[in-house]
Amino acid sequence: MTLNTIKRVGVIASIVLASGILIHAVKTDPTTPGIEYKYPIEIDFAGEKAPLHIADVQERFDRELLVNANLHATTLLILKRANRAFPIIEPILKKNGVPDDFKYLAVIESGLVNVVSPAGARGVWQFMPETGKQMGLEVNDIVDERYHLEKSTEAACKYLIEAKNKFGSWTLAAAAYNGGSGGVNKQITFQGVTNYYDLLLTEETSRYVFRILALKEIMQNPAKYNFTVQPNEMYPLIPTKKVDVDTTVEDLAVFAKDQGINYKILKIHNPWMRDRKLNVAPGKKYTVEIPLQGY
């Protein structure tokens, strides 16, 4: 046997060995002894079980789980931000009778930061201007409460409760949050089915609930998907004091200094203030948050 032949045999053997390891690593049959079943056998959204026994449902969930588990930096940032955002979101959901799982809807909408979509949706809950107004938010060039986490969470609860009452399930309420109540209702009427998992919807809405389920699974079991964040690496929820403002503030930079902070910090904690000033109509009052520590 020549040296080249020996090398070729060695390479082939290495490939076969590696293939065997990879096949073993991704084996997903929970009944096979000695093989860890990495992916969940069952999962629910807001207490409504996802029918993973249906082939396309299992595959769609698997897709979102694989994609998000491998978006390492993005998912790691979400885990860190949740430490700051969830303590605000969770009690508002609970107060309004909206299942806790809807905090993961906020995760997939925005990554728990105030983003702007190409269509013009804004904030953690990604409200379009008119929808935000319909849900009771003030939206203009000076004040945009889509950026106000507490108030936008209240608005999201209102929308979701209305959708749940209309469609009869929290899963369809979540789908309607993405695809619109009118769009989802149109497909229910046309297709003659009333279950999200039985509906053929647009690509985005078809993936929507599965993204929520994937982030729920990963965020509840981060170590299982190789995400480890130490407590001191989490982004903290900085305590603030609330200052009521009932007269127009012409210069927010001066106002910030009067409060012992600077303009940047004022805007970080009050992103709903969209200008350099704050107009306050007669009889109106705004509550501004001023951090007590961390700066």
Q: How many angstroms separate the Cα of 31 from the Cα of each of 41, 129, 189? A: 11, 51, 41
pLDDT single digits (tens) 37-90: 467 889 999 999 999 999 999 999 999 999 999 999 999 999 999 999 999 999
Q: For residue 201, what pLDDT band results from cuts at 50, 70 and 90?
A: very high
Q: What is the mean pLDDT of residues 232-250?
A: 97
Q: For residue 25, what pLDDT band results from cuts at 50, 70 and 90?
A: very low
Buried b or exposed e, range 58-69, using 16+ CB within 10 angstroms? eebbeebbeebb
Residue 166 pLDDT > 90, yes or no? Answer: yes
User: Distance between CA atoms of 12 and 25, rounded to whole angstroms?
Assistant: 20
Q: What is the mean pLDDT of residues 127-151?
A: 98
Residue 14 pLDDT > 70, yes or no? Answer: no
Q: Which two tokens stand for residue 166?
A: 């209309």
Residue type, 234: M
Scan for tokens 């605000």, then name that residue. 88
Q: Which two tokens stand for residue 215?
A: 């982030």
* Contact of 278 with 140, CB cutoff 8 Å: no
